[in-house]
Each structure stands twice: as structure tokens, then as C-alpha cells.
Amino acid sequence: MYGNTTEGEPVDKTVDRGPWAGCAVMFLQSLCPSVNLLSLYKDQQEGKFIVFKVIKLTLTDSAGGLGGYEILKVHDADPLLGVEVKFVDVAACQQFLKSYSSGALHQSLSQHACRLFALPQELTVETQLKASTHILDRCLNDLDLCLQQIHQSQPERLRDEEIDFLEQLLQSKALCPAPQLTTSMQEESAVPNNCFRFQNRVFEDRMLSTADVQSFSNGVGRQWKNVGRALGKSCRALKGPAIDNLAYEYEREGLYEQAYQLLNRFTQAEGSAAKLSRLVKALEDCKLTNLAENILDIQPQE
């Protein structure tokens, strides 16, 4: 049960007797000199959407799902980026606080940023959490008090129109089952330019991330040469003796390192064209669909 308020009224009674709501602002600042979250969010093109997607995915992870909260505004708190969040479910707020205090939120934020910005290593982000004038980072050892202060900080605004737009854009780009169409030609034309189809599902295409490379290197085993030759059909750097040279050069380091260096050579040569779809296609060609499913995080059907 929750602790008492300063007036002596138990917080749990407030929670149980009616709709619960509260507001918190999370401030973010990247410690990586090449990634300025505030500047990226001010970018009206791709930067704003990617930063918002990182925030949305992180909150979904930390609050235990899509429900129970909504982003009201993302604003300039130079040099910080402020994210104002309204909680409408006490359980979601509790889960968020637990994730924040344990470091799970920071890890999720770093991983999503690394993947979506195609960074060579995880991004370190400094955060501060406030409810009204209360800095919650100072009392994270008392999550009941943090919950109480968030509840006392009632939202004073409706959701910003810009957030409405970004939410709609995110939904339109979200991974979703392919539409039921009558011909394969129609199915292909239904896939957006920035997506690709795998097992009748549409996935967002993107540059290979560190996590993709690690998953591939862990799972491909001795088949890495075959995958390399499949990639070599459209990558000049992997043609001719390149695969055998990699095998010889990294033979002592083992299969993981050979596979890792294969994709490293691919990404260095292809740059922004080293897309996830090309690796998935190469894995399909080599009958390694299980590995492709693992990289795409497709859960096995029961």
C-alpha cells in the first residue's frame, strides 16, 4: 500500500475512488557529441519523426504497453529536450517509475536510438524527471512519493497538435500485416518505398544496426560464407576472392568474428544502402529464414 500524504490521507484511497491522472516531464540530453536530440527534433524532416519514435517506443517499453499514458508535448528546454507525459493509469505510472529508477528505461532509450539512428554503439542519454517543481530523481528510493507527486501534478494542457500529427505518422508507418490483395503484383505495389515484405508482413527498411550484426554473427555459424556470396551478387566489395580472403584473415578468431567482419565489410562498402532488406533477402536465398525471423524479432507461432 502507498504511504500517507502530508495531510494524512492515504494515497491509495485517492487512487481507488475515481479516475487517476498525473503529469511528469522527462528531460533528455545526449552525451554523444554527434547526436543532439534537441537539434534533431527541430529538424522538420526525418529527424523530428525519428526522435519521436525513439521516445514513443521507450515509453511503451517502460510503461508496459501503449495504454495508460499519452505524450502531451515535446518542447525545447535548451540544451535539453523536454517530454511532457500524462498518465491516466496508476499501474502504468508505477511501471514507468520502476523502469526509470532501475535503469531499464535508459537502456531501452539507448537501444532504440542506436537502432533508429544507425549508430555504431549505444547512445548514452542523461535524463531528469520532474513533476511540477519536484525533481523526482532525488527521491527515486521512495517510488510511492514519486507517484504521489506525479498525481498531484495535474496536466494543464491538451495534447499538442504536432504530437497528434506525429502519432498519426507513426501509426501509418508502423509494422502491420500486409493487406489482403488478389495478385502478387498488387501485393508488391502495396509496399511503401521505405519498407519490405517478409513472410506476408511489411517491415520498415533501415540501415543495419549493431544489434542486427550481432544477431547475425551469433546465429549464422558456418553458413556465413554462403550469405556473403548472396550479398556479393549486389555488392562489389564481396565479389571474387573477398569471401575467402575474409575467411583466411579471421580464421583464428572463429566463426563469430568472420561473420561480423563480413557485415562490417558490407556496411563500409555500401554505406546508407546497407539495408536490412538486403540481409533478409540473402538469408532467404540461403534457406536461413529462422535467423531472419530472429533478427526481425518475429515471435514463433504457438
Q: What pLDDT score was predicted for residue 283?
A: 94
Asked if residue 124 and residue 262 are part of one domain, the reply reads no
Has residue 3 been placed in a domain? no
Has residue 4 been placed in a domain? no
Has residue 31 been placed in a domain? yes
Q: Considering its fold, how many domains does the chain have in total?
A: 3
Tens-binned pLDDT, residue by residue, of the chain (302 aa): 334 444 444 444 333 445 789 999 999 998 887 788 888 888 766 788 889 999 999 898 888 777 789 999 998 988 899 999 999 989 989 999 999 999 889 888 888 888 887 876 677 889 999 999 999 999 999 999 999 999 999 877 788 888 888 888 887 776 444 344 334 434 444 566 678 888 878 888 888 888 899 999 999 999 999 999 999 988 999 988 999 999 999 999 999 999 999 999 999 998 888 899 999 999 999 999 899 999 998 765 54
Asked if residue 289 and residue 199 are part of one domain, the reply reads no
Asked if residue 165 and residue 183 are part of one domain, the reply reads no
Asked if residue 127 and residue 56 are part of one domain, the reply reads yes
Asked if residue 75 and residue 130 are part of one domain, the reply reads yes
Q: Are strands 69-77 and 22-30 parallel, antiparallel or unpaired?
A: unpaired
Q: Residue 22's domain is classified under what CATH number?
A: 3.30.70.680
Q: Which three cell numbers stand for residue 44?
A: 522538420
Asked if residue 281 and residue 212 are part of one domain, the reply reads yes
Question: What's phi and psi for 242, nearest 5 deg?
Answer: -60, -45
Q: What pLDDT score was predicted for residue 18?
A: 52
Q: Which three cell numbers stand for residue 46?
A: 526525418
Q: What pLDDT score was predicted for residue 46?
A: 75
Asked if residue 57 and residue 199 are part of one domain, the reply reads no
Has residue 64 been placed in a domain? yes
Asked if residue 182 and residue 210 are part of one domain, the reply reads no
Asked if residue 67 and residue 191 are part of one domain, the reply reads no
Q: What pLDDT score was predicted for residue 96?
A: 93
Has residue 2 been placed in a domain? no
Asked if residue 163 and residue 29 are part of one domain, the reply reads yes
264 alpha-carbon distance from chain centroid? 22
Asked if residue 242 and residue 98 are part of one domain, the reply reads no
Q: What pLDDT score was predicted for residue 116?
A: 83
Has residue 6 been placed in a domain? no
Q: Domain range for residue 181?
A: 176-205
Asked if residue 58 and residue 135 are part of one domain, the reply reads yes
What distances in angstroms separate CA 180 from CA 71, 106, 167, one per listed residue?
33, 39, 25
